[in-house]
Structure 1
Amino acid sequence: MSAIDTLPPLREVIAAHGLSARKSLGQNFLLDLNLTAKIARAAGDLTGADVLEIGPGPGGLTRGLLAEGARRVLAVEKDTRCLPALEEIAQAYPGRLTVLNADALEIEPLAHLTPPIRIVANLPYNVGTELLIRWLTPAEWPPVWDSLTLMFQREVAERIVARPGSKAYGRLALLAQWRCEAQIVMHLPPSAFTPPPKVSSAVVHISALPEPRYPADAATLERVVARAFNQRRKMLRAALKGMAPDIEDRLIAAGIKPTDRAETVGLEQFCALARTLDA
């Protein structure tokens, strides 16, 4: 019998510890262990890797990560009600699960892990995008993590993998695709969760590239993209007006028409524009 088989069903765990999901914490629990195992497998071979999980709740995905062979799981959980349930899992997998009772936005959990590192999480809806942007914009590249396998609202997942010309295309797509490979690997309906959210969800797998696809200064590229999409309905010569007095010439030098709008411009062109602004 494997360790996961010695643990009680998640519905029993929730009832025993009074773990009703709290909207204020962005909680929607995934109780189907077949689905949590599938998410864990989507992260690739976990054998020999440390895994960071944010918002484990009662520990459905945590069980899957450990059962799939993760060397060690660091679970960061803000809700103190969930700690006894996670401690039961830690006892079933001695020395392989560490639980931090903390707010993921206020600590640096990656400092507690040893490479290779994978981040796998059913992220709380209210902090998911902010955490993703932090992981995509470290001070140095390549990052300390190898891959991110994260569940988001479907709309957010589609923004991460969007292509130019689509409504979903924007800052998130450019940040993710500049230095990573990103793809949606799984869709989940609201009925998969307790309580069911009002929207569908999707799991995105993001692998870090050794270096960016195109050269550009990260801070400059971030500023250009933020300005361009903050006023996405404006022509770029107007949206980027304050970035340089000769912005039209710089746009043309980067292969961009001054009358183009941000949603039609590809990653390579944005990187070229960042270089012309730094020149």
Structure 2
Amino acid sequence: MAIDDLPPLREVIARHGLSARKALGQNFLLDLNLTAKIARAAGDLGNRDVLEVGPGPGGLTRGLLAEGARKVLAVEKDPRCLPALEEIAAAYPGRLEVVEGDALRIDPAAHLDRPYAVAANLPYNVGTELLVRWLTPASWPPDWSSLTLMFQREVAERIVAAPGSKTYGRLAVLSQWRTDARIVMSLPPGAFTPPPKVSSAVVHLTALPAPRFPADPKVLERVVAAAFNQRRKMLRAALKGLHPDIETMLAEAGLEPTERAEQVPLEKFCALARAFAARR
């Protein structure tokens, strides 16, 4: 079923010579019914601006616009994709702004009304870095209200992981501290062109009005990073480089020095960050 009057994506890719480039982490999703489903997973887009990173030939872009997004800012690093995106802009007058550049260097707030939604089939090579940046702004609530993001399945599972699991780590703590995060869709390799070697999943993260537990963001990041960098070690060993009196601070946070990072729930990590901050 067509979602608009534009040509099928395979035709667009052939006409513009848009073979996916591994160096840019490109895997194109060509089924417009799937891209529309991802757009719907972002929630009600009526009267909302949307940031899209790495639109490629514009499959998800078309889904977002067809689902009623007021405006989409599409940030694309590959200049080969720009003509195809401009064709979409012409079909949706005044609703699509295309910016050529690196999403790590562009301020979306200069182009969009806040709070905006973020929806993207993220390039594999920058997906995690972008997520961490969105989760760690200087102030909270952030400029965005929700993130609907495609990742490798392994990364998606790390975002929603619970304490005690092998996938629980830094991404889970940072994500769940300030957002509600859930996997809303899974896709096999065959859904993409070219097919990646791994399965993918879409994660929807909704920004909370305030973090679940009080903590200084920079201190929490530092403690969590140190704990999981040596996740096989006991906490007293993994964190000893942060402070000479680490065992006292662990006790203040209600933690045993023999516990390991993957056993520590979010609330206790925040308590430990507060204990560190009190001694600065």
Same fold, TM-score > 0.5, yes or no = yes
Q: How far did residue 109 of structure 1 move?
A: 2.4
Q: How far did residue 5 of structure 1 move?
A: 2.7
Q: Is the 8 A contact 1:169 1:263 kept in 2?
A: yes
Paired residue type of 1:80: P
Is residue 197 of structure 2 the alignment partner of residue 198 of structure 1?
yes
- Show the counterpart of 2:175: 176
- Show the counterpart of 1:208: 207
Q: How far did residue 278 of structure 1 move?
A: 1.4
User: What are the equivalent positions in structure 2 for 1:184-263 lying under 5 Å apart?
Assistant: 184-263=183-262
User: What are the equivalent positions in structure 2 for 1:1-279 lying under 5 Å apart?
Assistant: 4-279=3-278
Question: Identity percentage over the alignment?
Answer: 78
Report the secondary structure of 1:88's partner residue.
Answer: helix
Q: How far did residue 111 of structure 1 move?
A: 2.6
Distance in 1 (CA, whole Å) between partners of 2:218 and 2:4 is 48
Paired residue type of 1:17: H
Q: Is the 8 A contact 2:164 2:263 kept in 1?
A: yes
String of CA shifts for 1:39-92, please: whole Å, max 9, x gaps. 000000000000000000000000000000000000000111111110110000
Q: How far did residue 253 of structure 1 move?
A: 1.1
String of CA shifts for 1:116-169, please: whole Å, max 9, x gaps. 300000000000000000000000000010000000000000000001111110
Q: Is the 8 A contact 1:51 1:72 kept in 2?
A: yes
Distance in 2 (CA, whole Å) between partners of 1:202 and 1:176 is 16
Report the secondary structure of 2:182's partner residue.
Answer: strand
Q: How far did residue 242 of structure 1 move?
A: 2.0
Q: Is the 8 A contact 2:4 2:66 kept in 1?
A: no
Distance in 2 (CA, whole Å) between partners of 1:136 and 1:205 is 13
RMSD between superposed Cα atoms in Å: 0.9
String of CA shifts for 1:86-127, please: whole Å, max 9, x gaps. 011000000000000101122222332102300000000000
Paired residue type of 1:92: A
Distance in 1 (CA, whole Å) between partners of 2:184 and 2:148 is 9
String of CA shifts for 1:220-258, please: whole Å, max 9, x gaps. 100000000011111100111122221101101101000
Q: What are the ranges of 5 or more consecutive residues in structure 1 without an aligned counterpart?
A: none
Paired residue type of 2:71: R
Paired residue type of 1:186: M
Q: How far did residue 276 of structure 1 move?
A: 1.0
